[in-house]
Amino acid sequence: MQTEPIGSIPRPPELIQAMARFQAGTIPREQLDQAFAAALRDTIVRFEETGSPVITDGEQTKPSFATYPLDGLRHLAPDGVAIPFADGHVRRLPRLTAGPFRYGVHAAQFVTAALAFTHVPLKQAVISASALSLLYPASGIAGYPREEFLADLVSEAESDIRGALQAGAAFVQIDFTEARLSLKLDPSGGLLRSFIGLNNQVLARFTPGERQRIGVHVCPGGDLDSTHSADVDYAGLLPDLFQMNVGRFYLEMAGEIDRRRVLGIVRRLLRPDHLVFIGVIDPIYPVIETPVQVRDRVLEAASILPVAQLGTTDDCGFAPFADDTSTARDAAFGKIRARVEGTRLAARELGI
């Protein structure tokens, strides 16, 4: 049975300190790069020690899962779309002030850096085009209409995915956390469908074979041990989500109250060419799950979904923003190890 992580791992304290000192102008870029390399190397070593058959770079060198393409860009203001979380804290996207829009960083560079340290299959997470569409202000930009921005965005998002695959990523995961949040902002589903339509414009540029290596991840957010949309029912999201033209779906599930009901919805929507990875680890839950708990969650899913189309994953990344220290680094790797071992226990019981 396939099992994969979502993406981010809490950064070592030394890296967080180096990033803060660099922003304050007290250390040179060379020293920050050394801290990045040390964190990346340690992350990959520890990922391999968990026995995970697919790993990530832990997003160690990203400022966040969402904003890495903006690194080094000008024409950005800090007062963009606000994302409120249940505990009261807010993350805010920047606002684009001029065009044309181009990525400052593409994901291929993360793949290349990570593969220098490992031969284990690597998954690369990328941010969705729909999330970055929120950079464009409602008031518009003089001389750069929204239609032109979206055309540039689709091309850049395609390049981000294609570059990661060409650099050697085994799989590419589109982070689409705003999917569930969109239903909180617009319960009619119109915003969600516009997001999916935009992402499908990107995906239409790939062959069916390439799309089997591309997946989408959704969750209710997971930052500083809080969520932004856990109160939004999956029933309103999944029918539209499964219209995305990808081969792999990574679904938060461990944190759901009524998993069997949600799994039943997934079963009705699943096509023969789909793989669905069910979350069996809750990154926000403070206790490390046991392999037996994971096994039981897998067996529950296997009683509803076709085993041949079932895999396991974590509900969300463990630290999607670089300053998130709410989960200990050791705890994150402990949870990953439990997922790997619990999935193996379940596979043995299922005879696969």
- 155-168: pLDDT as tens digits: 999 999 999 999 99
DSSP strand pairing (76-77 vs 90-92):
unpaired
Q: In this structure, how many other beta carbons lie within 10 angstroms of the beta carbon of residue 207?
A: 7
Q: Is 8 left (phi over 0), alpha (psi -120 to 50) or beta?
A: beta
> Token digits for 116?
């220098």
Domain ranges of the chain: 2-350
Q: In this structure, how many other beta carbons lie within 10 angstroms of the beta carbon of residue 138?
A: 7
pLDDT tens for the chain, 352 residues long, are: 999 999 999 999 999 999 999 989 999 999 999 999 999 999 999 999 999 999 999 999 998 898 999 999 999 999 999 998 988 888 999 999 999 999 999 999 999 999 999 999 999 999 999 999 999 999 999 999 999 999 999 999 999 999 999 999 999 999 999 999 999 999 999 999 999 999 999 999 999 999 999 999 999 888 888 889 999 999 999 999 999 999 999 999 999 999 999 999 999 999 999 999 999 999 999 999 999 999 999 999 999 999 999 999 999 999 988 888 888 999 999 999 999 999 999 999 999 9
Global pTM reads: 0.95
Return mean pLDDT, the chain.
96
Contacts of 87 (CB under 8 A, 6+ apart): 224, 225, 226
Domain 2-350 matching CATH 3.20.20.210: the answer reads yes
